Amino acid sequence: MIDIKFLRENPEIVKENIKKKFQDNKLILVDEVIKLDKESRELTLMCDELRSKRNSKSKEIGGLMSNGKKEEAEKIKKEVNEINEKLSANEGKEEELKIEIKKRMMKIPNIMDASVPIGKDDSENVENERFGEPVVPNYEIPYHADILESISGLDKESAGRTSGNGFYYLTGDSARLHSAMLSYARDFMINKGFTYCIPPFMIRSDVVDGVMSFEEMDAMMYKIEGEDLFLIGTSEHSMIGRFKNQIVKEESLPITLTSYSPCFRKEVGSHGLEERGLYRVHQFEKQEMIVLCKPEDAMDWYNKMWSYTVEFFRSLDVPVRTLECCSGDLADLKVKSCDVEAWSPRQKKYFEVGSCSTLGDAQARRLSIRAKGKDGNYLVSTLNNTVVATPRGLIAVLENNYMEDGSIRIPEVLKPYMGGIEKIVPKKD
């Protein structure tokens, strides 16, 4: 959510930003907010004048009563009651206006960074840089579900009976490899100086409203029936929510955290769920990184954060690239975002394994997260980034470490988490 003062003073900049995101249907919101904001401020001024008048009249009553002028005092009491009635009505209108303004402000997208490329959708995202040589071996790489089945590591049929499409059982060495990646990701980020956290896996609606747009919420979040609780789609939600209505000390910034959680997503939309594979599922696990910092430090942290994910995947012998999200693919709260994509030797193309975003003060404004500086309080900037989300990360490791004999080579950094084994071999029938 942007600053209403900024919108009030720069409506054309806000409108131009909306146009660059190809959301022309939201242009009317800017004019509506300006109109409602003007009415609200006029009403606030009127209420302040009524309160001042009421206070003045109330003081008169005391003086008249002490001087025995009861009749005059009663007359002024009546005037005070009339002022109270008018004030109460105006305060009700004032509150209604604030609600209407907020409703519209929550839908107006954040101001993007000037470096964001302009494009309508993810097909117009821009490749930034490649890391590692993408190799296609001279032997066939099977579909990841087939690789997992060859080591008796995947059971989607049983998961279909217990939970439905979009769920899975990982078993044996594949489950161990999955956990090894998450444990390594945890230690990788701790070694970068981040504090490890395990957050709540459910959050209230006011936190959901604070961390994401309505469109994202409808497409992603699972609601707990009969309770004001949602299953998290990523630990960023509860990690940022942890600081709701807090004033942090400036000297504690930056706050650098890395969190583990299961994640739950509806995956509503055009992509759909995978019948056999694990690329798009309802449930997965993730190691995340979250930073709260001074506004002037946000872009430096943004570049550090995506580089950590690149470094993590390269340590697993997985070639990756970074892809700059264009304006039309940028979620409304984000200032700038890039995806980290892993090389798929089977598909001979890259696929998304992580996403890094800086959101400016949008989440902090919604959740009232401030820092106490020498010149007063100010809104912090928030950033988030995927270290690894698996099973997507697992797919990348399986494909890039698949050997001609059907075995899966264990990357050096994962061997300590896998009991020292060198490779996973197919199970014989």
Transcribe 145-210 into DSSP letters: HHHHHHTT-EEHHHHHHHT-TT--EE-HHHHHHHHHHHHHHHHHHHTTTPEEE---SEE-HHHHHH
Residues 45-90 have pLDDT tens digits of: 888 888 888 877 777 776 667 677 777 777 878 888 888 888 888 8
- Based on the domain organization, do 205 and 314 belong to the same domain? yes
- Is the domain of 86 the same as that of 186? no
Tell me whether residue 268 is in a domain.
yes
Mean pLDDT value across residues 221-229: 93
The pair of structure tokens assigned to 51 is 């309160």
Question: The CATH number of the domain where 346 resides is what?
Answer: 3.30.930.10
Torsional sign, CA 166, 172, 173, 177: positive
Residues 69 and 135 in one domain: no
For residue 110, being part of any structural domain is answered with no
For the segment 340-371, what is each residue's pLDDT rounded down to a tens digit? 999 999 999 999 999 999 999 999 999 999 99
Whether the link from the prior residue into 254 is cis, omega within 30° of 0, is: yes
- Residue 387 confidence (pLDDT) above 90: yes
- Residue 129 exposure: Cα atoms within 13 Å on the Cβ side: 6
Cα distances from 28 to residues 31, 118, 330, 423, in angstroms, run 5, 21, 20, 59
Please indicate, yes or no, whether residues 139 and 260 belong to a single structural domain of this protein.
Answer: yes
- Residue scoring higher pLDDT (76 or 143): 143
Residue 103: Cβ within 10 Å count: 14
- Would 111 be classed as within a structural domain? no
Q: Is the domain of 17 the same as that of 67?
A: yes
Does 80 share its domain with 135? Answer: no
| pLDDT tens, position by position, 247-274 | 999 999 999 999 999 999 987 554 556 6
pLDDT at 269: 54
Instruction: Evaluate whether residue 274 is within a structural domain.
Output: yes
Lowest mean pLDDT, pick from 2-6, 146-150, 248-252, 263-267:
263-267
pLDDT tens readout for residues 113-131:
999 999 999 999 999 999 9
Q: Is residue 115 part of a domain?
A: no
Please tell me the total count of domains within the chain: 2
The verdict on residue 429 lying in a domain is no
Q: Give me the CATH number covering residue 27.
A: 1.10.287.40
Tokens of 391: 């099973």
In a shared domain, residues 81 and 149: no
**Residue where a domain stops, chosen among 73, 105, 137:** 105
User: Half-sphere exposure of 359 toward its Cβ, with a 13 Å CA cutoff?
Assistant: 29
* 65 & 187 share domain: no
Give yes or no: residues 80 and 173 share one domain: no
Other Cβ atoms within 10 Å of 249 Cβ, number: 9
The Cα–Cα gap between 16 and 7 comes to 12
- Of 105, 137, 163, the position where a domain reaches its end is 105
The reply to whether 173 and 25 lie within a common domain is no
364 assigned to some structural domain: yes
| DSSP one-letter string for 335-390 | SEEEEEEEEETTTTEEEEEEEEEE-TTHHHHHHT-EEEETTEEEEPEEEEEEEEEE
> pLDDT grade, residue 429 (50/70/90)?
low
**Residue 338: both structure tokens together:** 């890039």
User: Phi/psi at 339 (nearest 5 deg)?
Assistant: -100, 145
Domain containing 188: what range? Answer: 122-424
Q: Are residues 297 and 386 in the same domain?
A: yes
In a domain, 389, yes or no: yes
Residue 120 DSSP code: S
Same domain, 86 and 128: no
Counting DSSP H helices and E strands in the chain, the numbers are 13, 18
